[in-house]
Structure 1
Amino acid sequence: MPLGVLSTTLFTAPVLHSPPKSSATLHGFPHSRVSSKSRVSVRSGSIKCQALGESSRSPIYQGIYGPWSVDSSDVREVILYRSGLVTAAASLVVAGTVAFLPDNSLLSEVIKQNLDLFYAIGAGGLGLSLFLIHIYVTEIKRTLQALWALGVVGSLATYTNLAHPAGESLIQYVIDYPIAVWFVGPLFAALTGLVFKEGLCYGKLEAGVLTFIIPSVLLGHLTGLMDDGVKLALLGSWMALFVVFAGRKFTQPIKDDIGDKSVFMFNALPEGEKKALIEKLGQEQKFSQNN
């Protein structure tokens, strides 16, 4: 299988929902996955999805398993996904700015007093995006979510048991004691996975560079092999590229961030219907090739 097809099959942009386990179905698709505003059917081996009242306005796109269209819930979830990234980027920029400000400045003091708040807001924004992220392979999504959850638990444990008793913010404690990177690191590993996925799917240069910068900063701080000047330079690059990355998400068409919706409709089918549909699609392909 060509690399481009493989990467498209594995990844796509926001809003992943694993096939729901529900006994209520609509033409073979669980009600909880298909919007109540949509009519879904399987005809001649293809999946058809038509939004009621929107057939003349919503374009129909051809997917691997049949045509699909964008509905209002798709738009809402994509916007929320992107908003989570903007929230995470803004929080990083505000918190990271303190590293470049004079220690005795008023702005620096205000930011230092609220570092944990900015960290929590940024982690929440990232969590929202990881909840809505659209990836065909459910195991990959669950792994990113598990890393995020592990990082949140580690952050809370570090703050409660180490940073707070020492009278420091969580971020300041991690700066003073690099070993604490082990506890907060999984959260940033989840972020690295997210930007890697975006870079792989859409060829975004800033996402690709972030894939290397984020772990480099953390590992450099953890091991002590990176001096402060290099860490500051990489942190500044991280901040700038993350803003560009989050902002550029809003320049993408909604349909691009959804990916191939027919794949998720296919994944919602029972195994027997999946096999039957694949066989019909194979027969149709052979027929078209012979004619």
Structure 2
Amino acid sequence: MASRLLSTTLITPPANLNKSSSGLTARVRLRKGRLSIRAVSGSSQGGSVDGTVYKGVYGPWSVEQSDVKEVILYRSGLVTAAASFVAASSAAFLPEDSWLSEIIKQNQDLLYLVGAGGLGLSLFLIHIYVTEIKRTLQALWALGVVGSLAAYAALARPASDSLVQYVVDNSTAVWFVGPLFASLTGLVFKEGLCYGKLEAGLLTFIIPSVLLGHLSGLMNDEAKLVLLGTWMALFVVFAGRKFTQPIKDDIGDKSVFMFMALPEDEKKAVVAKLEQDNSG
């Protein structure tokens, strides 16, 4: 997730909130059908997987088992998307008459479907402080899925072609699948911004470059293959390196998400409590 500076910029908490010495702990509970946050004293939270307590903008928080499962699923979705993309794209680098190339081409649409599903899972679980940005990425993914299905049913299938091959042969079809890759670009941009990862930053430019180069016809086949191969390599590195990060990185400041889940009146109560503790 983004740094403390980014989180405070996006959420704008009370002044000097992170300097509280009261040991305030923010907990979320389901009460009468809605989430509720409760401020209590103490230095640890129940359910922590390792007993470590992190200092958040709205109070201390810890990593629970449910958080670990969610992060693993998020990262697994990225691995699935990367593996499917690399497998489907590898046909471009194999001899046309090879048996492996033929097998891949026969299953490219299945690989595309699996990869899109993995990306969708990651976008569903991704932690972004600004809800509107998360919803935009999810909407782009959904639009890309609908566009892909429409392109397959109306264009590729009548031409007795796979969707992937049809997009390769007909550049204007990028308009149908483009939103899906736009959501992927947004995801890697977020990862690059939050963690300063070089491969994520490069993917932010390479993904749209390949698609726009193909759509406009301004990029020759050699250049597209070079960028495609780079995309494949960086995507593998990007997905693989996610599992080298601490779980807490993909959670972000959990206290912010707990706070954002509350009704406005309970948000005011939490802020008032924190300000009172800070001034005491």
Label 1:28 to 1:131 Cα distance change in 2 as closer, same or farther (>3 A): closer
In structure 2, the gaps of 5 or more residues are 12-25
Check the 8 A contact 1:29/1:269 in 2, yes or no: no
Q: Distance in 2 between matches of 1:171 and 1:134?
A: 30
TM-score under structure 1 normalisation? 0.84
Check the 8 A contact 1:29/1:268 in 2, yes or no: no
Label 1:33 to 1:264 Cα distance change in 2 as closer, same or farther (>3 A): farther
In structure 1, the gaps of 5 or more residues are 12-25
Aligned to 1:265: 258
1:236-283 deviation per Cα after TM superposition (whole angstroms, max 9, x unaligned): 000000000000000000011111110111112221221232233334
Check the 8 A contact 1:40/1:50 in 2, yes or no: no
Q: Distance in 1 between matches of 2:241 and 2:75?
A: 9
Aligned to 1:104: 97
* Residue of 271, 274, 283 corresponding to 2:267: 274
Aligned to 1:15: none
TM-score under structure 2 normalisation? 0.87
Q: Report the AA paired with residue 30 of structure 1.
A: L
Give runs of aligned pairs for residues 171-250 of structure 1, distance below 5 A.
Answer: 171-250=164-243
Check the 8 A contact 1:192/1:210 in 2, yes or no: yes
* Residue of 245, 262, 265 corresponding to 1:252: 245
Check the 8 A contact 1:64/1:263 in 2, yes or no: yes
Q: Report the AA paired with residue 253 of structure 1.
A: P
Check the 8 A contact 2:75/2:122 in 1, yes or no: yes
Q: Report the AA paired with residue 30 of structure 2.
A: P
Q: Distance in 2 between matches of 1:163 and 1:187?
A: 18
The reply on whether 1:79 has 2:72 as its aligned counterpart is yes
Aligned to 1:30: 30
The reply on whether 1:6 has 2:29 as its aligned counterpart is no
TM-align CA RMSD: 2.5
Q: Report the AA paired with residue 39 of structure 2.
A: V
Q: Distance in 1 between matches of 2:4 and 2:201?
A: 16
Give 1:130 shift: 0.5
Give 1:50 shift: 1.7
The reply on whether 1:114 has 2:107 as its aligned counterpart is yes
Give 1:214 shift: 0.2
The reply on whether 1:42 has 2:35 as its aligned counterpart is no
SS at match of 1:62: strand
Check the 8 A contact 1:27/1:42 in 2, yes or no: yes
SS at match of 1:51: coil
Give runs of aligned pairs for residues 55-74 of structure 1, distance below 5 A.
Answer: 57-74=50-67
The reply on whether 1:170 has 2:163 as its aligned counterpart is yes
1:160-188 deviation per Cα after TM superposition (whole angstroms, max 9, x unaligned): 11101101110110111100000000000
Aligned to 1:158: 151
Label 1:91 to 1:156 Cα distance change in 2 as closer, same or farther (>3 A): same
Check the 8 A contact 1:102/1:108 in 2, yes or no: yes
**Percentage identity across paired residues of the two chains:** 71
